[in-house]
Amino acid sequence: MLLDVTTAWLPPETGPLVRTLVRLASTLVAAWLLQRIGFLLVGRAERWVVRSAHGAEQAVQRARTLGQSARHLVTTIVCVGAFFHILEVLGWDLRPLLVGAGILGAALAFGAQTMVRDLIAGVFILVDDQFSVGDTVEVNGQAATVEGVTLRSTRLRDWQGRLLFVPNGEMKIVVNYSRGWHLAMVDLPLALNQDLGRVLDVAGAIAGEVNANPALKPHLLEPMQVLGIERLGIDGAFVRLAARALPGLPAAIVAREGRRIALARLHAAGLRAAGDPDLKYAPQPPRTPGEPARGN
């Protein structure tokens, strides 16, 4: 009936070839319009998700992830429907084709178990909100940034700029570095024979300087604290400081700046970090002729 409507305006003397071409063109235009309408509805759903969460960054990322998957699904459905409609326009009888496709599909189902597994895993990834576009994740030991998510696979960009396509069913363990909070840790590796009581006092000063730093305050969820002596050994001791910080880059910034402050404070207090030379027993440079002997 749809085919009759699309060609009803043509003159009766119009040939079958022209009518077929008009029907094909109408099918393509209708498919394009359906895709645009579907994209419009997806875009409105994305905006609704963001508004319902009052513009939270995580909601924006989730809306973008769901939108990508929904657009991919809309395009697939429209293309499949247009393909079968074009076959009908060309005079193919779809009933035997559909029966054959059903039999072929049953036969291929045994060989398509991996694809089915990937599709089911993709559904659970979206439903459970395991990660979103823009998140930094670690998948099977590989750290990367999520660039796209579909029901079939996930696109990742690693630190070297390489684009990775990972089937969703292959994601056994996923670590999301962009959710919740991270511990920004600063370890003070100390050389042997250091006054640990004095080291703990210096560690408290380091934590205070980090907490008072105006550039680091926006990244901190809780003040940095001295956790104490983490380890003792024949090579020295480790004193640990830690603070809850925003996940991802903010936590890394706090840890890096904390290490810089710690190194400066240790040296200013005359304390040696692991690897620093012991000046008391460090080898002296050779004396020049006529130079008096150096004392200890």
Tens digits of per-residue pLDDT, 215-257? 999 999 999 999 888 887 777 788 899 999 988 888 989 999 9
CB 164 within 8 A of CB 152: no
Q: How far apart are CA 281 and CA 285, in angstroms?
A: 12
pLDDT at 212: 92
Report the percentage of the chain scoring pLDDT > 70: 78
Q: What is the mean pLDDT of residues 59-69?
A: 76
Predicted confidence band of residue 189 (pLDDT cuts 50, 70, 90): confident
pLDDT-wise least confident of 70-79, 85-94, 198-207: 85-94
Place of tokens 């684009």: 163
* The two three-digit tokens of residue 240, written as one number: 């640990």
Give backbone dihedrals phi and psi of 167, rounded to 5 degrees, phi first: -60, 135
**Residue 194 burial class via C-beta count within 10 angstroms: exposed 0-12, middle 13-18, buried 19 and up:** buried
Instruction: Return d(Cα 246, Cα 178) in angstroms, integer.
Output: 8
Q: For residue 208, what are the contacts with CB-CB under 8 A and spacing of at least 6?
A: none
- Give the pLDDT confidence score for residue 279 in this predicted structure: 47
Burial of 205 (0-12, 13-18, 19+ CB in 10 A): middle
CATH match of 128-176 with 2.30.30.60: yes
Non-local CB neighbours of 204 within 8 Å, separated by 6+ positions: 226
Main-chain phi, psi angles of 241, to 5 degrees: -120, 145
Whole-number mean pLDDT of the chain? 79
Domain boundaries, the chain: 2-110, 128-176, 182-268
pLDDT-above-90 percentage for the chain:
16
Bigger pLDDT: 296 vs 261: 261
Q: Which CATH class is domain 182-268?
A: alpha beta
Position 156 pLDDT exceeds 70: yes
Tell which wins on pLDDT, 64 or 218: 218
Nearest C-alpha neighbor of 170 from the set 136, 120, 135 = 120
User: What pLDDT band is residue 296 in, cutting at 50, 70 and 90?
Assistant: very low
Cα 152 from Cα 171, distance rounded (Å): 12
What integer pLDDT is reported at residue 108 of this predicted model? 54
**In this structure, are residues 254 and 219 in contact, taking their beta carbons and an 8 Å threshold?**
yes
Pick the CATH number of 2-110 from 1.10.3470, 3.40.50, 1.20.120, 1.10.287: 1.10.287
